[in-house]
A and B are shown apart, each in its own frame.
Chain A
């Protein structure tokens, strides 16, 4: 079991004494090698759920085990390490640093992990080769198309060879051709053994995945397996 969440609740404080529940008793498990989507309309709590799975936030109550380690209540620094080692993030708006070249962007997580420079460059090139952008490695984000930028972001997400890739609306800012390319890339990664979890509100995206969790009003409503 890669991700195991039990009775997770998350409240957001509004003022001094009031808070609004965003997630209510969510239990979720992700097996290694899964290829799944979490789907829900906006306001359903899916981004909050992704933040919790991605160790960007800690739950108000409940228990979360990631790859055998209880990460429910860890220090900020320890969570940084876990994000760095175990999770690759792909965001809707890519979030590449504009001042860095493609390969420097891909190197970032390895910089934080303390990988030596030579090895860093080797691995970054390899990741860019995987996403088919080896020839653009010295381009800056402003010189790349949206689809290319997202593929660089995917290369960055897999540069540390994490077990889990978390993607938040990865095709939301792309045209359908680029979007399809990105989804194809995810499938390839999954076939190579990486667990991929995509958060989306598009049925077309969810249809690409092996399994879909529907989330509504802070609760997981149904699970469907795609053929």
Chain B
């Protein structure tokens, strides 16, 4: 076997130009496939990262009316939807793949509800429980966090994020300031920020609309004081921390099902809990970009076919040229199988060199394209392995006919041929 490979390499080296031209088809085919796959993978990685962020693995489950998120700012309490009971919360914690569960109440867009002196605040207001900030990866940058007594004694305390801090207190120290929420005075006890804030990659206007964080500041208050500001018995939203990115979809679906079953009393209700599945969204976007590129892969595959035919052609020439060598080997006792494997090895060594060169050329091409067009690329290791394996397979497939022809040569005729 190794002897065959060595001889094959020697043969290829002896016919450098011919071998290069033969391999060219394979090289071009493999290079274009690697380029396309790298571009697909780069785009996909970017979509996923932009949508999911840097792995907080937070899955939000919210109340929907029909297909729209239900916003309590302008709507009455939903009929037949009750607050989340302790049993339901426990059931959520027991979902496989769930690490943490937080129940919260939210006004995603408030305007004219919060003031600091005469400065109005627009942004979001969230009534949280002790798990909430941890799930989103918030850390304290100034002041203190909520303590148990903030919740149990209904203290009117607030945490704000940096955006809210700059909006409400430009140039001032926020901690200790009193803000007005729905007419009630709240003390700002601390400032929080997301650790390792993820900045989405934005290459185009489309990306900007899709991913850019245009939200204004966030203010958090203990969930227990929510009824003082708004209404009793508002339904909660839920955010769950999944143990891994791949679990996000299943966790979200399971949680949505539990909540819909337990919290919505009427079976024919137009309300339901739905998970906002970032992973699923990412996959849909990825599929969109992949399906067009998949066609490109097929087209590149045609050049592999052409390359394979080139290999077959040159192998047939080689068999004819070496008729006497084959005849001699057979006369000396080489069996059919040995001649067969000699030519198959030669064909597949030829194509696998083509494959390896093609992979290298493809990586270079992908990097060049990404540098010029500013699109992301990511080299896919499985794709490289498959490409090289595939090029060996091409060698075997297109080498079969010449190799069988060689192995069937009659030694007498082969020796007599001059």
Contacts and interface: CB of A to CB of B under 8 A. Distances in A.
A112 B338 contact: yes
Given A56-B411, A112-B338, A80 B333 contact: yes
Given A51-B412, A57-B412, A95 B333 contact: no
A156 interface: yes
A95 B324 contact: yes
A81 B412 contact: no
Interface string B4-26: 00010011001000000000000
Using C-beta atoms within 8 Å of the partner chain, give the interface range for chain B. 20 to 34
A67 B180 CA distance: 114
B107 interface: no
Contacts of A57: 412
A89 B3 contact: no
A133 B14 CA distance: 27
The winner among B332, B338, B411, B415 for most chain A CB atoms within 10 A is B332
Interface string B306-341: 000000000000000000110011111111101000
Given A91-B415, A108-B329, A99 B7 contact: yes
A121 B331 CA distance: 21
A84 B333 contact: yes
A109 B332 contact: yes
B416 to A, nearest CB: 9
B332 A89 contact: yes
A97 interface: yes
Interface in A91-114: 91, 95, 97, 99, 108-109, 111-113
Contacts of A109: 332-333
Contacts of B14: 99
Interface string A73-98: 00011001101110001010001010
Given A97-B325, A99-B10, A111-B3, A156 B411 contact: no
Contacts of B411: 56
Interface in B323-372: 324-325, 328-336, 338
A80 B334 CA distance: 6
Contacts of A54: 331
Contacts of B328: 95, 97
User: Majority SS of interface residues in chain A?
Assistant: helix
Contacts of A112: 329, 332-335, 338
B333 A76 contact: no
Interface in B391-418: 411-412, 415
A83 B412 contact: no
Contacts of B325: 97
Interface in A47-63: 51, 54, 56-57
B333 A56 contact: no
B415 A95 contact: yes
B250 to A, nearest CB: 57
Nearest to A95: B328
Contact of A56 (B324, B331, B334): B331
A81 B412 CA distance: 16
A76 B331 contact: no
A91 B417 CA distance: 13
B332 A84 contact: yes
Contacts of A97: 325, 328
A135 B7 CA distance: 24
Contact of A81 (B3, B11, B331, B333): B333
Given A57-B412, A91-B415, A95-B415, A83 B332 contact: yes
A55 B412 CA distance: 10
A56 B335 CA distance: 12
A95 B415 CA distance: 9
A76 B3 contact: no
Contacts of A111: 3
B10 A89 contact: no
Interface string A141-182: 000000000000000100010000000000000000000000
Given A51-B412, A95-B415, A77 B335 contact: yes
Contacts of A84: 332-333
B331 A83 contact: yes
Given A95-B328, A99-B7, A99-B14, A113 B412 contact: no
A196 B100 CA distance: 91
A95 B80 CA distance: 96
Given A80-B333, A81-B335, A97-B325, 12 more contacts: A51-B412, A56-B331, A76-B336, A77-B335, A80-B334, A80-B335, A84-B333, A95-B324, A97-B328, A99-B10, A113-B333, A160-B333
28 contacts: A54-B331, A56-B331, A56-B411, A56-B412, A76-B336, A80-B334, A80-B335, A81-B333, A81-B335, A83-B331, A83-B332, A83-B333, A85-B333, A89-B331, A95-B324, A95-B328, A95-B415, A97-B325, A99-B7, A108-B329, A109-B332, A109-B333, A111-B3, A112-B329, A112-B333, A112-B334, A112-B338, A160-B333
